[in-house]
Amino acid sequence: MQAIVIAPRLEALRQRLAKEGFDAMLVVNEANVSYLSGFTNRESYLFLSGIKAGAANVFITDSRYAEQAKDECPAYEVLLYRDPSPPLPRRLQELCAAYGVGRLAFEAAHIGYAQHKEISAALTEVELVPAENFIEDLRIVKDASEIACLRKACAGTDKVFADIRAIIRPGLTEKELEWALLQSVHEQGCEPSFPFIVVSGVRGSLPHGMAGDKKLAAGEFLTVDFGCMYKGYRADITRTVFIGRPTDKQRRLYDIVLAANKLGEKTVRAGVAAQAVDTAVRGYIAEQGYGENFGHGLGHGLGLDIHERPFMGRVSRDTLQEGCLVTVEPGIYLPGHCGIRVEDTVLVQKNGCENLFSSPKELICL
């Protein structure tokens, strides 16, 4: 994958560095390291010099990951740090001197105070300048290889939902259902995208509630928010089902959320302000009398991170672009009663979007 995909990513970043007047960049965020190198592990860094400074690709890691880095990152020179090798600040000092770096960009959102202090102390001849979203801007639009991985992740997620529907029953605990979700994810050859959300009955009003010892019971909603991760790319789905037969009021509540989900997906298309999609859906839910019960944003981008740009919310400044992926996940949460959320992952297209899931979302009664 690296030979085809990594080169244009590095070229695009170097163009940004040149435009902003940087000689090189230090990359510390794990997802960004993976995006620019193909590495699938952790605790490693990238030193990328600009075109005028030699266009060097240096992968900085310790002995635990050296062999893996050489195998997965052929576009990079692998340089070791940590005892018995020199510490990271010393390695950066050596690299900056070797490539004539006077102005070094770093990821301000992803480096801690203590680490920044250590690096600053070592790079006395180098100007350290924070760089915001240089790599995140590139990651918004997915290339063909990324979309293929996300399709695989979503297909696996569909299979997981089919598996767990067959075992949901009164008396099963939320934790037992969570364990079944995790088992099924691994059976698809995937890993979990994030810590799963499994809440039922009155606990459904917790948008990010974790599975507990509560037993599933007839007459209640059950919400499961989960996803498969395939080659580092993360799917995200939420389905709310009903155990038993709902009352007319319960069914109407579900129908409002489902209609909101469909409205959001109908509104998503390239060129639309992400905030406008949120506004349309939020307005609909408010018209139905539940505006105060939908607090979180409508959706978010996803890929190597489960939450990444673009974000669809009330204060978003993002614009949807063809080739980006976002979730559409409206919800209604009634403390002391229940909660309902319906979420899909969709691929933004020129004239609309494609839902990457095939799992049914009309109310399922079990």
- Predicted local confidence at residue 4, as pLDDT: 54
Tell me the C-alpha distance between 172 and 136, whole Å.
41
Fold of the domain built from segment(s) 144-355: Creatine Amidinohydrolase (3.90.230)
Pull the structure tokens for residue 316: 């978003």
Domain ranges of the chain: 2-139, 144-355
In the predicted model, residues of the chain with pLDDT beneath 70 are 1-4
Q: What global pTM score does this model have?
A: 0.95
Exposed, middle or buried: residue 289 (CB in 10 Å: 0-12, 13-18, 19+)? exposed
Give the per-residue SS3 of 161-193.
HHHHHCCCCCCCEHHHHHHHHHHHHHHCCCEEC
Same fold, 2-139 and 144-355: no
Query: What is the CATH code of the structural domain delimited by 2-139?
Result: 3.40.350.10
> 291: which 2 tokens?
């505006």
**Residues 6 or more apart from 98 whose CB is under 8 A from it?**
none
95-131 as b/e: b if 16+ CB within 10 A: bbeebebebbbbbeeebeeeeeebbeebbeebebeeb
- 312 close to 300: Cβ distance less than 8 angstroms: yes
